[in-house]
Amino acid sequence: MDGKFPLLGEKFPSIEVPTTQGVRKIPEDYIGRWLVLFSHPADFTPVCTTEFVEFALRNDEFINLNTELIGLSVDQVFSHIKWIEWIKEKLKIAIPFPIIGDNLGIVANKLGMVHELKGSNTVRAVFIIDDKGVIRTIFYYPQEVGRNVNEIIRTIKALQTADQNKVAIPANWPYNSMMGDKVILPPPQSIQEAKIRIQNAQGENYTCYDWWLCFKSLS
Protein backbone atom coordinates (compact mmCIF):
# COMPACT_ATOMS: atom_id res chain seq x y z
CA MET A 1 0.00 0.00 0.00
CA ASP A 2 3.00 2.33 0.44
CA GLY A 3 3.19 5.23 -2.01
CA LYS A 4 -0.40 5.03 -3.25
CA PHE A 5 -3.92 5.40 -2.00
CA PRO A 6 -6.04 2.31 -1.26
CA LEU A 7 -8.08 1.01 -4.18
CA LEU A 8 -11.33 -0.90 -4.53
CA GLY A 9 -10.87 -4.61 -3.96
CA GLU A 10 -7.76 -4.18 -1.81
CA LYS A 11 -7.52 -5.06 1.84
CA PHE A 12 -7.88 -1.99 3.99
CA PRO A 13 -4.43 -1.09 5.34
CA SER A 14 -4.02 -2.04 8.99
CA ILE A 15 -4.04 1.03 11.25
CA GLU A 16 -4.22 1.49 15.02
CA VAL A 17 -5.93 4.72 15.99
CA PRO A 18 -7.02 6.65 19.10
CA THR A 19 -10.75 7.36 19.20
CA THR A 20 -13.34 8.84 21.50
CA GLN A 21 -14.16 5.26 22.58
CA GLY A 22 -10.60 4.03 23.04
CA VAL A 23 -7.99 2.57 20.71
CA ARG A 24 -9.27 0.78 17.62
CA LYS A 25 -7.40 -1.42 15.17
CA ILE A 26 -8.85 -1.24 11.68
CA PRO A 27 -9.86 -3.48 10.00
CA GLU A 28 -8.97 -6.21 12.50
CA ASP A 29 -11.44 -5.12 15.20
CA TYR A 30 -14.27 -5.16 12.66
CA ILE A 31 -13.76 -8.49 10.88
CA GLY A 32 -17.17 -10.16 10.62
CA ARG A 33 -18.90 -6.78 10.37
CA TRP A 34 -19.01 -4.12 7.67
CA LEU A 35 -17.49 -0.73 8.44
CA VAL A 36 -18.09 2.80 7.17
CA LEU A 37 -15.06 4.99 7.88
CA PHE A 38 -15.79 8.60 7.02
CA SER A 39 -13.75 11.78 7.37
CA HIS A 40 -15.02 15.28 8.02
CA PRO A 41 -13.11 18.57 7.61
CA ALA A 42 -13.27 19.74 11.23
CA ASP A 43 -15.15 19.66 14.51
CA PHE A 44 -17.45 22.57 15.38
CA THR A 45 -18.28 23.29 11.73
CA PRO A 46 -21.85 23.60 10.39
CA VAL A 47 -21.98 21.03 7.57
CA CYS A 48 -20.06 18.44 9.59
CA THR A 49 -22.46 18.88 12.49
CA THR A 50 -25.44 18.19 10.24
CA GLU A 51 -23.71 15.06 8.95
CA PHE A 52 -22.92 13.68 12.39
CA VAL A 53 -26.49 14.24 13.51
CA GLU A 54 -27.73 12.43 10.41
CA PHE A 55 -25.35 9.49 10.94
CA ALA A 56 -26.38 9.29 14.59
CA LEU A 57 -30.09 9.30 13.77
CA ARG A 58 -29.55 6.54 11.19
CA ASN A 59 -27.16 4.47 13.32
CA ASP A 60 -29.69 1.70 13.99
CA GLU A 61 -30.14 1.24 10.22
CA PHE A 62 -26.41 0.66 9.87
CA ILE A 63 -26.42 -1.76 12.80
CA ASN A 64 -29.26 -3.70 11.17
CA LEU A 65 -27.00 -4.06 8.12
CA ASN A 66 -24.23 -5.50 10.34
CA THR A 67 -22.35 -2.25 9.79
CA GLU A 68 -20.41 -0.04 12.19
CA LEU A 69 -19.60 3.66 11.79
CA ILE A 70 -16.35 5.44 12.65
CA GLY A 71 -15.53 9.08 11.96
CA LEU A 72 -12.21 10.88 11.49
CA SER A 73 -10.77 14.36 11.20
CA VAL A 74 -7.42 16.03 11.76
CA ASP A 75 -8.52 17.16 15.22
CA GLN A 76 -7.40 15.74 18.55
CA VAL A 77 -9.60 13.35 20.49
CA PHE A 78 -10.33 15.96 23.18
CA SER A 79 -11.80 18.25 20.49
CA HIS A 80 -14.04 15.42 19.31
CA ILE A 81 -15.17 14.80 22.89
CA LYS A 82 -16.07 18.45 23.43
CA TRP A 83 -17.88 18.63 20.09
CA ILE A 84 -20.04 15.55 20.75
CA GLU A 85 -20.79 16.97 24.21
CA TRP A 86 -22.00 20.15 22.48
CA ILE A 87 -24.16 18.14 20.07
CA LYS A 88 -25.69 16.23 22.98
CA GLU A 89 -26.33 19.39 25.00
CA LYS A 90 -27.58 21.70 22.25
CA LEU A 91 -29.17 19.32 19.75
CA LYS A 92 -30.18 16.49 22.12
CA ILE A 93 -28.50 13.91 19.89
CA ALA A 94 -26.00 11.36 21.24
CA ILE A 95 -23.19 10.33 18.90
CA PRO A 96 -23.00 6.53 19.41
CA PHE A 97 -19.98 5.74 17.24
CA PRO A 98 -16.26 6.47 17.79
CA ILE A 99 -14.34 9.32 16.15
CA ILE A 100 -10.65 8.97 15.29
CA GLY A 101 -8.27 11.69 16.43
CA ASP A 102 -5.74 12.21 13.61
CA ASN A 103 -4.24 15.60 14.45
CA LEU A 104 -0.93 14.72 12.75
CA GLY A 105 -2.78 13.73 9.59
CA ILE A 106 -1.01 10.38 9.31
CA VAL A 107 -4.15 8.34 8.65
CA ALA A 108 -5.79 11.02 6.51
CA ASN A 109 -2.79 11.28 4.20
CA LYS A 110 -2.41 7.51 3.99
CA LEU A 111 -6.03 7.18 2.89
CA GLY A 112 -6.04 10.09 0.42
CA MET A 113 -8.39 12.21 2.51
CA VAL A 114 -6.34 15.42 2.17
CA HIS A 115 -6.56 17.07 -1.24
CA GLU A 116 -4.13 20.00 -1.49
CA LEU A 117 -6.29 22.08 -3.81
CA LYS A 118 -9.11 21.87 -1.26
CA GLY A 119 -7.04 22.98 1.73
CA SER A 120 -5.26 21.27 4.60
CA ASN A 121 -8.33 19.70 6.23
CA THR A 122 -9.76 16.36 5.18
CA VAL A 123 -12.37 16.25 2.44
CA ARG A 124 -15.52 14.24 3.10
CA ALA A 125 -14.22 10.77 2.27
CA VAL A 126 -16.22 7.58 2.80
CA PHE A 127 -14.72 4.09 2.82
CA ILE A 128 -17.13 1.16 2.85
CA ILE A 129 -15.22 -1.91 4.07
CA ASP A 130 -16.77 -5.36 4.02
CA ASP A 131 -16.77 -8.03 6.72
CA LYS A 132 -13.50 -9.45 5.41
CA GLY A 133 -11.67 -6.13 5.58
CA VAL A 134 -11.84 -5.43 1.83
CA ILE A 135 -12.51 -1.93 0.46
CA ARG A 136 -15.73 -2.08 -1.54
CA THR A 137 -16.63 1.58 -2.15
CA ILE A 138 -14.90 4.96 -1.88
CA PHE A 139 -16.71 8.30 -2.07
CA TYR A 140 -15.14 11.77 -1.99
CA TYR A 141 -17.23 14.88 -1.36
CA PRO A 142 -15.90 18.47 -1.19
CA GLN A 143 -16.00 20.41 2.06
CA GLU A 144 -18.90 22.57 0.89
CA VAL A 145 -21.29 19.67 0.17
CA GLY A 146 -22.61 17.38 2.88
CA ARG A 147 -22.82 13.72 1.94
CA ASN A 148 -25.97 11.73 1.27
CA VAL A 149 -26.45 9.17 4.05
CA ASN A 150 -29.27 7.56 2.08
CA GLU A 151 -26.82 6.72 -0.71
CA ILE A 152 -24.31 5.23 1.72
CA ILE A 153 -27.01 2.96 3.18
CA ARG A 154 -28.26 2.09 -0.33
CA THR A 155 -24.74 1.17 -1.42
CA ILE A 156 -24.22 -1.16 1.55
CA LYS A 157 -27.57 -2.85 0.85
CA ALA A 158 -26.66 -3.17 -2.83
CA LEU A 159 -23.23 -4.67 -2.11
CA GLN A 160 -24.62 -7.14 0.39
CA THR A 161 -27.41 -8.13 -1.99
CA ALA A 162 -24.94 -8.59 -4.86
CA ASP A 163 -22.65 -10.73 -2.67
CA GLN A 164 -25.41 -12.91 -1.26
CA ASN A 165 -27.15 -13.57 -4.58
CA LYS A 166 -24.27 -13.42 -7.07
CA VAL A 167 -26.00 -10.69 -9.09
CA ALA A 168 -25.38 -7.11 -10.23
CA ILE A 169 -27.39 -4.10 -9.11
CA PRO A 170 -28.98 -1.64 -11.60
CA ALA A 171 -28.89 2.16 -11.44
CA ASN A 172 -31.07 3.78 -8.77
CA TRP A 173 -31.90 0.35 -7.31
CA PRO A 174 -34.38 -0.46 -5.86
CA TYR A 175 -36.21 2.15 -7.97
CA ASN A 176 -34.73 1.51 -11.40
CA SER A 177 -36.83 2.89 -14.28
CA MET A 178 -36.36 -0.29 -16.38
CA MET A 179 -36.69 -3.05 -13.81
CA GLY A 180 -37.76 -1.60 -10.47
CA ASP A 181 -36.27 -3.52 -7.54
CA LYS A 182 -35.15 -6.48 -9.65
CA VAL A 183 -31.48 -7.43 -10.00
CA ILE A 184 -29.31 -8.26 -13.00
CA LEU A 185 -28.08 -11.76 -13.82
CA PRO A 186 -24.35 -12.19 -14.38
CA PRO A 187 -23.40 -12.34 -18.10
CA PRO A 188 -23.21 -15.71 -19.87
CA GLN A 189 -19.79 -17.34 -19.76
CA SER A 190 -19.96 -19.16 -23.10
CA ILE A 191 -21.55 -18.94 -26.56
CA GLN A 192 -23.79 -21.87 -25.71
CA GLU A 193 -25.01 -20.26 -22.51
CA ALA A 194 -25.72 -17.04 -24.41
CA LYS A 195 -27.81 -18.92 -26.97
CA ILE A 196 -30.04 -20.57 -24.38
CA ARG A 197 -30.29 -17.63 -21.98
CA ILE A 198 -33.44 -16.17 -23.54
CA GLN A 199 -34.92 -19.58 -24.34
CA ASN A 200 -34.82 -20.55 -20.68
CA ALA A 201 -36.04 -17.23 -19.32
CA GLN A 202 -39.65 -18.21 -18.59
CA GLY A 203 -38.80 -21.48 -16.90
CA GLU A 204 -35.99 -19.97 -14.86
CA ASN A 205 -38.14 -17.04 -13.67
CA TYR A 206 -36.14 -14.20 -15.16
CA THR A 207 -36.77 -11.65 -17.92
CA CYS A 208 -34.45 -10.57 -20.74
CA TYR A 209 -34.13 -7.58 -23.02
CA ASP A 210 -31.43 -9.62 -24.73
CA TRP A 211 -29.14 -12.48 -23.67
CA TRP A 212 -26.68 -10.05 -22.10
CA LEU A 213 -29.32 -8.05 -20.18
CA CYS A 214 -31.49 -10.29 -18.04
CA PHE A 215 -32.99 -9.56 -14.65
CA LYS A 216 -35.02 -11.25 -11.95
CA SER A 217 -36.85 -10.63 -8.71
CA LEU A 218 -35.36 -11.77 -5.42
CA SER A 219 -38.75 -12.05 -3.72
Residues 172 and 211 in one domain: yes
135 and 180 fall within a common domain: no
Would residue 112 count as lying in a domain? yes
Shared domain for 132 and 173, answered yes or no, is no
Quickly count: other Cβ atoms within 10 Å of residue 205's Cβ. Answer: 9
Q: Is 154 contained in some domain?
A: no
- Is residue 122 domain-shared with residue 87, that is, in the same domain? yes
What is the domain extent for residue 127? Answer: 15-147
Q: Are residues 114 and 53 in the same domain?
A: yes
- Statement to judge: residues 45 and 112 lie in one domain: yes
User: Which of residues 118, 147, 176 is at a domain's end?
Assistant: 147
**pTM flag (> 0.75):** yes
What's the confidence (pLDDT) of residue 202?
64
Is the domain of 41 the same as that of 81? yes
How far is Cα 208 from Cα 213, in angstroms, rounded to an integer?
Answer: 6
* 182 and 143 housed in the same domain: no
pLDDT number for residue 13: 93
Annotation says 48 is catalytic: yes
pLDDT attached to residue 150? 97
Alpha helices, DSSP H, located in 104-169: 106-110, 149-165
Question: What CATH number is associated with residue 70?
Answer: 3.40.30.10
Q: Is residue 1 part of a domain?
A: no
CATH number of the domain at 217, please.
3.30.1020.10
Tens-digit pLDDT profile for the chain (219 aa)? 344 688 999 999 999 999 999 999 999 999 999 999 999 989 999 999 999 999 999 999 999 999 999 999 988 999 999 999 999 999 999 999 999 998 888 888 888 887 876 767 788 999 999 999 999 999 999 889 999 999 999 999 999 999 999 999 999 999 999 999 999 999 999 999 998 888 877 666 889 999 999 999 998
Is the same domain home to 39 and 92? yes
Per the residue annotation, which of 17, 48, 108, 184 is the catalytic one? Answer: 48
93 in Cβ contact with 87 (< 8 Å): yes
Examine the fold and report which residue of 119, 147, 175 is the final residue of a domain before the chain moves on.
147
What whole-number distance in Å separates Cα of residue 66 and Cα of residue 48?
24
- pLDDT reported for residue 1: 39
Number of domains making up the chain: 2
Identify whether the C-beta of residue 37 lies closer than 8 Å to the C-beta of residue 62.
Answer: no
CA distance 85 to 94: 8
Residue 153 lies in a domain: no
